[in-house]
Amino acid sequence: MTKRKEIIIPEKDYENQKVIIASIRDNNNIELQKNGLQKKMHIITYGCQQNTSDSEKLKGMLYEMGYVDTKVKSEADIILMNTCCVRENAELKIFGNLGALKKLKTENPNLIIGICGCMMQQEHIVKEIKQKYRFVDMVFGTHNLHKLPQLIQMATHEKYTLIDIMNSDGLIIEDIPTKREDKYRAWVTIMYGCNNFCSYCIVPYVRGRERSRNPQDVITEISDLAKEGCKEVTLLGQNVNSYGIDLNQNVDFADLIKMANNIEGIERIRFMTSHPKDISDKLIHTIKDCKKVCEQMHLPFQSGSNKILHAMNRKYTREEYLEKIKKVKNAIPGIALSTDIIVGFPGENEEDFNDTLDLVKEVEFDQAFTFIYSKRKGTPAEKMDNQVDDDIKHKNFEKLLEVQGHISREINESYLNKIVDVLVEGLSKSDKNRMTGRTRTGKVVNFNPGINEIKIGDLVNVKITEVFSWFLNGEIEI
């Protein structure tokens, strides 16, 4: 294999990328007409919804360049890995999967292998790729995925590893084409980055400071989606509650929700993630008043102990969190709450963990995403010397799962015999005679469509006949 070395790409604007897209498309079309060879892409996405949304843009650009999707890696002309670095186990898995691509590159030297996303914003990771994964053709970060066309163009000529990582994060590129996975439900990023610097979290270092999209751009995107038949949008950001602060346009997140609520064709609006410190009364009332906003909120609390919350730099206390929950529950009865919890943050003792368990029992979340604390290079928590024993972390993690499992099941019991509004997503994975969808509260419902002709994207009434901790079963109700 050719020895590769690093080359840094000079910054160019997106207009230039459009020209490159057209030129690659022309070449690919010629090849398709001459030899019947259709270029294929395979994109692997790790991590959160923001990454899913970014991958839809990578796909959009590749699609415009004349590539089609393939599920089979060995058929692909380009393989991209869009990475996540929030926890160490994600990184280890990604390195394992990247290593496995070497064989494909040896078999097909024309294959372009690219790795991008959050993990690439860390210097030590890029160094490791340069040293140990020399077959990789291109490495790029979170701030410059719009330069994919230029990278591909260069990768087809160069025998060097192209490294393009930007640390500046001022850029919001609006007109990147998007190829969405789902016609009826769409992710809409409203802001990028995070200013909160929770002491365990790598996100502010790899995604940069908060930048809000212009409200008009967001609303135009949602209106266009509605015209194409989209029914549900999820507004995305690391902390959507601070939307607009950087814009000086007198538009905050509540105002944006109101605008989205007026868009004809959109039936459901969701959003994530919210930081508890930024949930305002105005926002709670807006959610209550806007009929399209679903009765669901994801509000990570991370720890129930004030000592640990302080060490995490979360900027609220347990009591303040509970107060916000009370307000939300009072304003929006039946709201489904979900949360994120970290087990085993440095210094967490039994008493602290019990505070977390108590909070879980007191709030009664519909769902909790629980994570074992993972040391992240460059974060303040990495340097804390009272790291918790792995055994204790795992034992507490299991305990938390068990407690939450019971609570989820109990909440789901209250759905029994109720008729719920379900947006149909497709066939059930476990039983192809059944269909699946979600309630406004985000519950997965598998149901028997009977003799009715039900299509993906339909909104149907389903009577719940059976409940489990993680999903509900039901029958269609005409």
Q: Which does 238 bind (CB under 5 to 8 A by kind): ligand SF4, ligand 5AD, none?
A: ligand SF4
How far, rounded to the nearest angstrom, does the alpha carbon of residue 398 sit from its chain's CA centroid? 25
Dist CA 126 CA 166 (whole Å)? 12
Let me know: does 429 contact 436? Beta carbons within 8 Å.
Answer: yes
Let me know: does 347 contact 297? Beta carbons within 8 Å.
Answer: no
| Residue count (the chain) | 478
| β-bridge pairing 6-8 and 40-45 | unpaired
- From the list 351, 474, 352, 343, the residue with the least C-alpha distance to 402 is 343
Q: Which does 87 bind (CB under 5 to 8 A by kind): ligand 5AD, ligand SF4, none?
A: ligand 5AD
Let me know: does 188 contact 225? Beta carbons within 8 Å.
Answer: yes
Contacting ligand 5AD within 191-210 (CB under 6 A): 200-201
Dist CA 285 CA 290 (whole Å)? 9
380 binds ligand 5AD (CB under 6 A): no
Least distance from C-beta 39 to ligand 5AD, angstroms? 35
For residues 203 and 287, which CB has a smaller minimum distance to ligand 5AD in the complex?
203
Q: Return the residue of 66, 117, 237, 300 that touches ligand 5AD, per CB under 6 A.
A: 300
Q: Which stretch binds ligand 5AD (CB under 6 A): 32-40, 130-138, 241-249, 371-379?
A: 371-379
Contacting ligand 5AD within 302-331 (CB under 6 A): 302
343 binds ligand SF4 (CB under 6 A): no
Dist CA 274 CA 234 (whole Å)? 13
For residues 47 and 215, which CB has a smaller minimum distance to ligand 5AD in the complex?
47
Q: Return the residue of 254, 342, 422, 462 that touches ligand 5AD, per CB under 6 A.
A: 342
Let me know: does 446 contact 427? Beta carbons within 8 Å.
Answer: no
For residues 65 and 84, which CB has a smaller minimum distance to ligand 5AD in the complex?
84
x/- letters, 266..285, toward ligand SF4 (CB under 6 A): ---------x----------
How far, rounded to the nearest angstrom, does the alpha carbon of residue 203 sit from its chain's CA centroid? 12
The counts of H helices and E strands in the chain are: 14, 20
- From the list 187, 253, 195, 171, the residue with the least C-alpha distance to 221 is 187
Q: Is 346 helix (H, G, I), strand (E, B) or coil?
A: coil
For residues 295 and 382, which CB has a smaller minimum distance to ligand SF4 in the complex?
382
Q: What does the radius of gyration of the chain's CA atoms come to, in whole angstroms?
A: 23
Q: Return the residue of 130, 371, 380, 442 that touches ligand 5AD, per CB under 6 A.
A: 371
Q: Which stretch binds ligand SF4 (CB under 6 A): 193-201, 257-265, 362-370, 467-475?
A: 193-201
Q: Which does 271 bind (CB under 5 to 8 A by kind): ligand SF4, ligand 5AD, none?
A: none
- Neighbouring CB atoms inside 10 A of 403's CB total 16
Q: Which stretch binds ligand 5AD (CB under 6 A): 325-333, 367-375, 394-402, 424-432?
A: 367-375
x/- letters, 252..281, toward ligand 5AD (CB under 6 A): ------------------------------
- From the list 468, 118, 441, 420, the residue with the least C-alpha distance to 298 is 441
Please give the single-letter amino acid code of residue 90: A
For residues 151 and 309, which CB has a smaller minimum distance to ligand SF4 in the complex?
309
194 binds ligand SF4 (CB under 6 A): yes
Least distance from C-beta 388 to ligand 5AD, angstroms? 12
Q: Return the residue of 17, 51, 83, 238 that touches ligand SF4, per CB under 6 A.
A: 238
Dist CA 406 CA 423 (whole Å)? 26
For residues 143 and 376, which CB has a smaller minimum distance to ligand 5AD in the complex?
376
373 binds ligand 5AD (CB under 6 A): yes
Dist CA 139 CA 266 (whole Å)? 37
For tokens 């109720």, what's the residue? Answer: 418
For residues 87 and 438, which CB has a smaller minimum distance to ligand 5AD in the complex?
87
Please give the single-letter amino acid code of residue 237: G
Q: Give contact residues for ligand SF4 (rule: CB under 6 A).
A: 194, 196-198, 201, 203-204, 238-239, 275
Q: Give contact residues for ligand 5AD (rule: CB under 6 A).
A: 86-87, 200-201, 300, 302, 340, 342, 371, 373-374, 376
